[in-house]
Chain A
Amino acid sequence: MNKLNLSKQKTKQARKLAGAITRPVQAYIDTHTTISVERTVLRVLGANGMNKEGVPVPNLAVNCLEGKLAKGAARYWVNALLHYDGNLQKLNRAVAKGKDISALEMVSDVKLNKVVRPLLGTFNKQITANVKTRNMMLRRYRKKDDSPLLYLIVATGNIYEDVKQAEAAAHQGADIVAVIRTTAQSLLDYVPCGATIHGFGGTYATQENFRIMREALDKVAHKEKRYIRLVNYASGLCMPEIAAMGALERLDMMLNDSMYGVLFRDINMYRTFVDQHFSRMLTAFADITINTGEDNYLTTADAYQNAHTVLASQFINEGFAGNAGLAPRLMGLGHAFEIDPSLKNSVLYEIAQAQMVREIFPEAPIKYMPPTKFMTGDIFRGYVLNSMFNLVSGMTSQSIHLLGMLTEGILNPFMQDRYLAVKNAQYIMNATADLGREIQFAKHGIIAKRADEVLNKTLTFLERVNKLGLFKSISKGLFADVKRSPKGGKGYAGVLRKDSDYWNPVEDFLQKKLKLK
């Protein structure tokens, strides 16, 4: 597909620059670990449960390894397992009761390697089975056409109430259901345990909540004869841990961006870069599609003026994702329909952007976000805006289509708003199903020229980022007009340089599986 006549030379150059930008960061990532990566490793190796105060076992275990963590938490966990006759349940219980696993006598590395093998085998089996089940269900309930997947959000705070709304959403026609997290969970340095019924503006991401929703959606899938993809957030301070939980509970997509946490949650940049890499290796292995967060750039900055920052970030996200072994078909690069609707030809510019992203990342399941910034309390006007968004999405073959709510910016969406959103999208996408194939753009018309202009600006921008380096670029506010200092933000204390005898069998396992080494 090359309707915009975009220069191959320029996109190639942009990828080259993104490679140059991510390379030094990747070198940093490869030599560092974080407390959340270490907790993730323990989760994969069977750490589970919590103590009486609700502190999760992975946190308890890692907390007692202060000063030793740079050698890898796995070393102490696997060693401790030997002291409990290889019984994970016993070990989990002991840690929950306050057992210090750093104080035990250490066995040889050879022995550790032998003990860890069956643990990795169990993990491998679980994830492989999940991938198989997903593929089987996707084949069984294949979508009839190639129109964008309709994505709806539920967020009641109560997982059981979420289930009801998710069932309704699926019945109405959603292909994807996302459970929004409770406010500020991204800043918690632990993942709560168990089913939860209280949240503010969303529901806690916990492994049990994942399981409950997965089970409910599978039931709905059989009833509706449509596989319903489940989404949650592998982001924030526990990014890789949540990715591991998502892999175990067969989530299908996870929001995961290489820079979002830094820019919008003020999480330390070193921490985020290391965490995103490990979490992406997990999602790659579990065949989970990531959703990146470029749409957020446009909610703070002007969508017309800053379109190039979105494309630049997509190239960078693509670069990091590739480093973690994610195939392009799992890279749900994001963008949004956020240009001021009062601007003359605003929809043409939206078409240019959407078509450009589609052409530059032909294999990626592009995720398209609805208008939010210019949604006023006038729900009727909002409904029309959403209709234009639906039209542009269908005609430019976006892949993951987040439905716009007429109550956006006013209230939590009503159940009926989701229904209206689905009906709107279904009507428009069916009524214009082949519009995209019919359309050609004028060679020097507004749309082609706009796409070229954005690509040019992106190149200039990437060159500037490359010259400064990514860390410095972020600290100078090049992305989303937000300035973050390299050592500032939350979670920097949890970043460690790996010791020469650092041991991470999970990382080794994933790298082998993903053919990264």
Chain B
Amino acid sequence: MQIRPYGDTLDDGAVQLSFTLPMSNSEKSREAAKRFVLKHGFKRCEITSAEALADNFTMFVVYAWTKLGIDSSEVKDVVSAAPEIMNFDEVNLFIKEHVKRPIVIVGACTGSDAHTVGIDAIMNMKGYNHHFGLERYPMVRAYNLGAQVENQHLIEYAIKVKADAILVSQIVNQKDMHLENMKEFISFVKDKKVRKQFLLIAGGPHLNHKMAKEAGFDAGFGRGSYAEHVATFVARKLAGKSK
């Protein structure tokens, strides 16, 4: 079935847009903004605001209406690393019963990326948004190495503590540097011939399961993921019961 954006009524195809053009605020720039929007395939549009940001920059708010739709049934290749999530207590119980020992997880934000926010959200005791981090899990031994960690170092550390899983966090996506860094990580793992020893997991706001798999990881977690998503995936994999 074809679906379209819903503004105030079904199938109206209404979209809210905002952008800046490097032009002064004038009739001409408003017309340019309009043509720019229509070039994207919108049937009609309305510029509701044009504000000069500087002599040669104008910010626009535009409403536009599209006839384009998407057949939702054709969206098939979306996969999730852990479709059915266990909560904090369920994961711990599951590990106790099926893995029968604490599992070891090592994580870091690697490469030049200096953002600990992602790895901390997953690993820190406090967690994020009322979801405890892996350090809080009695059945998980978690090592958070922080940010700007060399890929090499993370792998060596994982070998040292006999980790079950390695988490690689990537926040910055400028010029696709997150993908480059992930590729580098995988090639180091392969060089060391330890690929099979670990579950490799990538996470970050610009990642998803599919992208991580394509880069050679076992799983990927995007925006909106919490510790229990990661823990569920690792626990099920280790118990040989991937769901």
Contacts and interface: CB of A to CB of B under 8 A. Distances in A.
- Does B associate with A? yes
A516 interface: no
Given A377-B61, A378-B61, A380-B61, A412 B8 contact: yes
A412 B18 CA distance: 18
A439 interface: no
A321 to B, nearest CB: 34
A414 B16 CA distance: 10
Given A156-B9, A378-B61, A414 B51 contact: no
B48 interface: yes
Contacts of B18: 379-380
B188 interface: no
Given A378-B61, A380-B61, A410-B63, A415 B49 contact: no
**Quick one: which of A377, A413, A416 has the most chain B CB within 10 A?**
A377
Interface string B92-115: 000000000000000000000000
B10 interface: yes
B16 A156 contact: no
B49 A411 contact: no
A164 to B, nearest CB: 8
A379 B10 contact: no
A426 to B, nearest CB: 16
B22 interface: no
A161 interface: yes
A414 B48 contact: no
B116 to A, nearest CB: 26
Contacts of B16: 379, 414, 416
A416 B14 CA distance: 11
Interface string B5-19: 011111000101010
Contacts of A416: 16
A377 B47 CA distance: 8
Interface string B53-83: 0000000010100000000000000000000
Nearest to B7: A414
Interface string A347-380: 0000000000000000000000000000011111
B49 A379 contact: yes
Interface string A402-418: 00000000111111100
Contact of B48 (A156, A161, A410): A410
Nearest to A154: B8
A412 B48 CA distance: 13
Interface in B119-167: none
Contacts of B48: 376-379, 410
Given A410-B48, A414-B16, A379 B61 contact: yes
Interface string A457-480: 000000000000000000000000
A200 to B, nearest CB: 13
A376 B49 contact: yes
A298 B14 CA distance: 31
Nearest to A410: B48
**Quick one: which of B10, B18, B61 has the most chain A CB within 10 A?**
B61
Interface in A21-60: none
Interface of B: 6-10, 14, 16, 18, 46-49, 51, 61, 63
Given A378-B51, A410-B46, A413-B8, 4 more contacts: A165-B8, A378-B48, A414-B7, A414-B8
14 contacts: A156-B8, A377-B61, A378-B49, A378-B61, A379-B49, A380-B18, A410-B48, A411-B7, A411-B8, A411-B63, A412-B7, A413-B8, A414-B7, A415-B7
